[in-house]
């Protein structure tokens, strides 16, 4: 790894992570042995424990190791202040141990030398996820090794300046967190508004008819796996319609054009048709709005509205909570729920004329336009906050966030002291795993 990554003040020093911290991996005991785990034992952290975790400090995860499990795990008990850094699935989760903890093998943690503030290290690692990922190996499953983590370039500032930087970042990131929370509330509000609009739009009609009476056909994708092709017709799964629209750019592969032409007409999507997910993530509708050939998986139903049914109204109605509750009530299966086509055809919808359907669809469309604007503004704000946070962190580790103090002990002196202290430490005996990393 090349040093330096960028210019830093003269009182700083570019070092490798291994110069200022012990890089400690983790381990996992056999999971089928229940005695390896305890209700209250040795705290044990995995990357999943940091999913959605936005705090700086963590004391324990969802499971603890027993003494037996710890001995069988290959993990090391690290002191409070260790910086836990996930090295796979995914790379880049980061938190500081609030007390002695161990981790599974998904971490390459930093046990910092005296004079290196864990909070400073944590902020640097949070700003360096792309850099860390660039050092990882693997394609479908990327992981950064302990050796590569130890070689990571690290901008060592004087200890006093580390503390000033952390204090400033704490204030600034707390403000950004509040702004991010406000923007996230905007996203949540837009979803609630859509839900309320749909619920209200389909609440008052009492007369009901089977949905099959408004469709010329209701079918699903071919149950036989279609042949693959380098080019041809896109093949989509439910992920291509999660946003309520058909997004062919998310096609997983292609099938030969002849395959599409040989499908029954009821399985060939066309403009005005509506897709509806019936397996797994059930209840997602998506209108077909473009005249483009595509093939879909069998977990998706295709509804072809007849002359008495407005396609937009049908798509909105399929997303309404009243219809969704019907679909969930007839769904079968445990690991993966499925709405059977026979049951789908029997589900009921409001019995209203075409003119009323179009008026209802127009009202929902206008209401959704307002929620779309709210959602767009919230997403724009979140993107701006992310860019601002990245810029603040970049300034911090270039020495531009707080002023330098000429009275600070230079990082070079701190580094020499760390090296001297390490050289004076007794060497660990081979064959023994220390119970507490230091």
The C-alpha atoms of residue 178 and residue 31 are separated, in whole angstroms, by: 39
Mean pLDDT value of segment 174-187:
95
Is 375 a domain residue? yes
Q: Is 38 exposed, middle or buried (0-12, 13-18, 19+ CB in 10 A)?
A: middle
Same domain, 347 and 212: yes
Is 231 a domain residue? yes
Is 436 a domain residue? no
- The count of other CB atoms within 10 Å of the CB of residue 302 is 21
Helix (H, G, I), strand (E, B) or coil at 24: strand
pLDDT value of position 383 = 96
Helix (H, G, I), strand (E, B) or coil at 236: strand
The C-alpha atoms of residue 393 and residue 401 are separated, in whole angstroms, by: 8
Tokens of 201: 């739009």
Which residue, 288, 283, 285, 256, is CA-closest to 270? 288
Is 69 a domain residue? yes
pLDDT surpasses 80 at 184: yes
pLDDT value of position 138 = 86
Same domain, 42 and 138: yes
Residue 290 and residue 240 in contact, taking contact as beta carbons nearer than 8 Å: no
At 295-323, the pLDDT tens digits run: 999 999 999 999 999 999 999 999 999 99
Residue 408 and residue 163 in contact, taking contact as beta carbons nearer than 8 Å: no
Helix (H, G, I), strand (E, B) or coil at 23: strand
Dihedral of CA atoms 258, 259, 264, 265 in degrees, nearest 10, equals -60
Q: How far is CA 228 from CA 111, 220, 417, in A?
A: 50, 19, 63
Secondary structure element (H or E) that encloses residue 374, with its range: helix 354-396
Query: Can you give the C-alpha Rg of the chain in angstroms?
Result: 29
The rounded mean pLDDT for the chain is: 92
The C-alpha atoms of residue 86 and residue 92 are separated, in whole angstroms, by: 5
Confidence of residue 438 (pLDDT cuts 50, 70, 90): low
Is 438 a domain residue? no
Residue 284 and residue 238 in contact, taking contact as beta carbons nearer than 8 Å: yes
Confidence of residue 325 (pLDDT cuts 50, 70, 90): very high
Is 4 a domain residue? no
Total count of domains within the chain? 3
Q: How far is CA 197 from CA 2, 183, 194, 211, in A?
A: 56, 21, 5, 21
Backbone angles phi, psi at 218, to 5 degrees: -135, 110
Same domain, 276 and 290: yes
Is 429 a domain residue? no
Same domain, 141 and 278: no
Residue 101 and residue 43 in contact, taking contact as beta carbons nearer than 8 Å: yes
Same domain, 255 and 266: yes
pLDDT surpasses 60 at 418: yes
Question: Helical H runs in 281-339?
Answer: 311-319, 321-330
DSSP string, 211-272: GGGGEEEEEE--SSPPPPBSSSEEEE-GGGGTTSB--GGG--EEE-HHHHHTS-GGGS--TT
Q: Which of 189-193, 281-285, 424-428 has the lowest mean pLDDT?
A: 424-428
Instruction: Give the CATH number, domain containing residue 77.
Output: 3.90.220.20
Confidence of residue 1 (pLDDT cuts 50, 70, 90): low
pLDDT value of position 335 = 79
Q: Which of 19-33, 57-71, 216-230, 344-358 has the lowest mean pLDDT?
A: 216-230
Residue 168 and residue 401 in contact, taking contact as beta carbons nearer than 8 Å: yes
* Structural domain that includes position 311: 207-351
The widest CA-to-CA distance across the chain, in whole angstroms, is: 88
Which residue, 93, 97, 103, 98, is CA-closest to 65? 103
Rounded (10°) angle between helices 118-126 and 354-396:
130
């Amino acid at each position: 790894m090349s040093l330096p990554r960028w210019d830093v003040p003269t009182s700083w020093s570019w070092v490798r992570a291994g110069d200022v911290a012990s890089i400690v991996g983790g381990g996992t005991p056999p999971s089928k042995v229940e005695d390896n785990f305890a209700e209250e034992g040795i705290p044990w952290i995995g990357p999943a424990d940091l999913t959605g975790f936005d705090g700086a400090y963590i004391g324990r995860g969802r499971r603890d190791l027993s003494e037996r499990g710890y001995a069988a795990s290959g993990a090391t008990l690290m002191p409070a202040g260790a910086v836990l850094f996930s090295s796979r699935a995914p790379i880049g989760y980061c938190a500081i141990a609030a007390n002695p903890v161990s981790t599974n093998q998904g971490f390459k943690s930093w046990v910092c030398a005296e004079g290196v503030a864990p909070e400073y290290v944590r902020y640097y690692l949070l700003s360096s996820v792309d850099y860390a990922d660039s050092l990882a190996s693997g394609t479908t499953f990327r992981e950064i090794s302990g050796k590569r983590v130890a070689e990571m370039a690290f901008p060592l500032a004087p200890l006093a300046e580390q503390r000033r930087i952390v204090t400033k970042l704490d204030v600034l990131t707390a403000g950004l967190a509040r702004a991010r929370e406000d923007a996230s509330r905007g996203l949540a509000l837009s979803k609630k508004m859509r839900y309320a609009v749909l619920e209200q739009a389909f609440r008052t009609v009492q007369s009901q008819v089977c949905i099959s009476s408004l469709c010329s056909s209701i079918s699903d994708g071919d149950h036989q796996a279609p042949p693959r092709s380098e080019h041809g017709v896109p093949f989509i799964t439910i992920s291509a319609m999660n946003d309520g629209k058909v997004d062919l750019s998310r096609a997983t592969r292609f099938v030969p054009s002849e395959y599409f032409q040989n499908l029954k007409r009821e399985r060939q999507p066309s403009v005005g048709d509506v897709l509806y997910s019936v397996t797994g993530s059930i209840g997602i509708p998506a209108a077909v709005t473009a005249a483009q050939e595509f093939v879909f998986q069998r977990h998706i139903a295709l509804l072809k509205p007849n002359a008495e049914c407005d396609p937009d109204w049908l798509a909105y109605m399929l997303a309404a909570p009243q219809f969704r509750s019907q679909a969930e009530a007839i769904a079968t299966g445990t690991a993966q729920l499925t709405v059977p086509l026979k049951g789908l055809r029997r589900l009921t919808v409001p019995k209203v004329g075409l003119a009323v359907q179009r008026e209802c669809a127009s009202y929902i469309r206008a209401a959704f336009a307002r929620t779309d604007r709210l959602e767009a503004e919230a997403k724009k704000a979140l993107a701006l906050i992310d860019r601002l946070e990245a810029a603040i962190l970049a300034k911090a580790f270039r020495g531009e966030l707080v002023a330098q103090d000429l009275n600070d002990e230079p990082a070079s002196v701190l580094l020499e002291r760390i090296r001297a202290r390490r050289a004076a430490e007794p060497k660990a005996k081979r064959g023994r795993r220390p119970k507490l990393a230091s």
